[in-house]
Chain A
């Protein structure tokens, strides 16, 4: 579904990504883990088109993504749940979800999507009329996920959904994500610093360090790899 080949990108003269290749098949749950500054968010920004790569290729369902203007990429079925949530603070919860549903499929499936989103994330139903800026961090994260789901995406990209949240809230959001994935079969690409949880729930994982993929494999391979165990799982 998503194929990234030899992608290099960065800010001004400083390269952050150095020839990264990543593959996500339809229906897969892929996790990208790695330390701060490894280039995880840069990778997502490049996929969404906020950042132009200096080299490499990205294709999505056979379409050359780099030839598609950034604002059109959501319409292809890519939903980006950004780092730091980035909800629209002066819009209500409901209006935020409507913004997620700007895509054609999102508009078409609006009624059934909203029903599912409210079932998965009931707090959004309770707070539907509240301004997003007044929500707590965890609620904003749930709204960001709901907003992504409202577009009826083919691929849901999640950038550190646990960032800045209390551990119990982060756990709750992880459980929700796994439930959403089990019930919808949605293809997901997750970037996470909570390596143990991420690798446990994903089918396939990549370890990104200093802008390069240093390791990849299915979750079994990664979780039993000595380097991963030492560096990330503290074993």
Chain B
């Protein structure tokens, strides 16, 4: 029982960060319908940006070891958003949006090759620049815990860094949801996703809406990556490990639903942690995909997906 509660807590904490990670990808897919294979590598870049901001750019010196990492991680968001903005402007926009709207398959083949190419460049470029040594964003909070309880003589230990990671994730998720639901920009993103042609008739620049979504999605996943890096060491190829989890989360939540992507990521975090109760840890990822297949079998549109025809 104690093990169960402990695994549940760990699953919820890691699930919140996975959720945020999936939301970044879900936003891009939902608005643009572009499958970005490089998204895991954008996250890897976000981890390194946070790492170097913390260690080399003086964030550690100014804010110290406890708060510093989180400041650096939050700053990595805008940096990667800017990076995403330029990747879209210079590369992705040539194979997506209004330029390819009339092409067969809406340019999906070109998008596939292009984003795979970007992924390879980022991975191998990362290897040259950052080296193959494992890095991590160390904070003293990563190795200390809060004790919750006791509930019925049982205590749950919450790793402090993971606890803060989850809270930061939830805060950003809340801000993003408000932005998407309430703001003019958010509404125009949804309109551009619903019907790009009609959005153009309204005077919405669809390519610019796509660029906004791509930048926002890149920044959000970068922050999620930085949060993961407080507990998990990373390397230039770490994106490959996460991009599959991201897609599983987005599909579970329902393609195109942003809140769905969050719950998809949360489900994966929970399954991953709970599976360690009955399975060896090497089978964590196998467990994720067994549950994934089961859910998709019974609910092919995902949790929040709707069977709507896209015009």
Contact = CB atoms under 8 A, between A and B. Distances in A.
B308 A95 contact: no
Contacts of A74: 200-203
Interface stretch (B120-128, B184-192, B271-279): B184-192
A80 interface: yes
Contact of B197 (A73, A82, A133): A82
Interface stretch (A99-107, A112-120, A171-179, A190-198): A99-107
Interface string B190-217: 1101110111111111101000000000
A90 B200 contact: no
B189 to A, nearest CB: 11
A98 B187 contact: yes
Given A90-B308, A91-B187, A133-B308, A102 B203 contact: yes
A232 interface: no
Interface string A220-233: 00000000000000
A130 to B, nearest CB: 15
Interface SS, B side: helix
A86 B199 CA distance: 9
Interface string B280-311: 00000000000000000000000000101001
A100 B191 CA distance: 10
Interface in A95-154: 95, 98-100, 102-103, 133, 147, 151
B191 A88 contact: yes
Contacts of A102: 188, 202-204
Contacts of B199: 88, 99
Nearest to B206: A71
A50 interface: yes
A71 B196 CA distance: 11
Contacts of B188: 99, 102
Nearest to B205: A71
Contact of A80 (B195, B201, B205): B201
B200 A71 contact: yes
A151 B191 contact: no
A71 to B, nearest CB: 4
Contacts of A48: 200-201
Contacts of A133: 308
A99 B311 CA distance: 17
A75 to B, nearest CB: 5
Nearest to A73: B203
Nearest to A69: B205
A86 B191 contact: no
B96 to A, nearest CB: 16
A86 B197 contact: yes
A82 B187 CA distance: 20
A23 to B, nearest CB: 22
Contact of B198 (A72, A87, A151): A87
11 contacts: A50-B197, A70-B98, A71-B205, A82-B198, A87-B195, A88-B195, A89-B194, A89-B195, A90-B306, A91-B191, A151-B203
> 6 closest A-B pairs (Cβ-Cβ)?
A74-B203, A88-B194, A71-B205, A86-B198, A80-B201, A102-B203
Given A70-B200, A88-B190, 14 more contacts: A50-B197, A69-B205, A71-B206, A73-B203, A80-B201, A84-B311, A88-B194, A90-B190, A90-B193, A90-B306, A95-B191, A99-B202, A102-B204, A103-B203
Interface of B: 98, 184, 187-188, 190-191, 193-195, 197-206, 208, 306, 308, 311
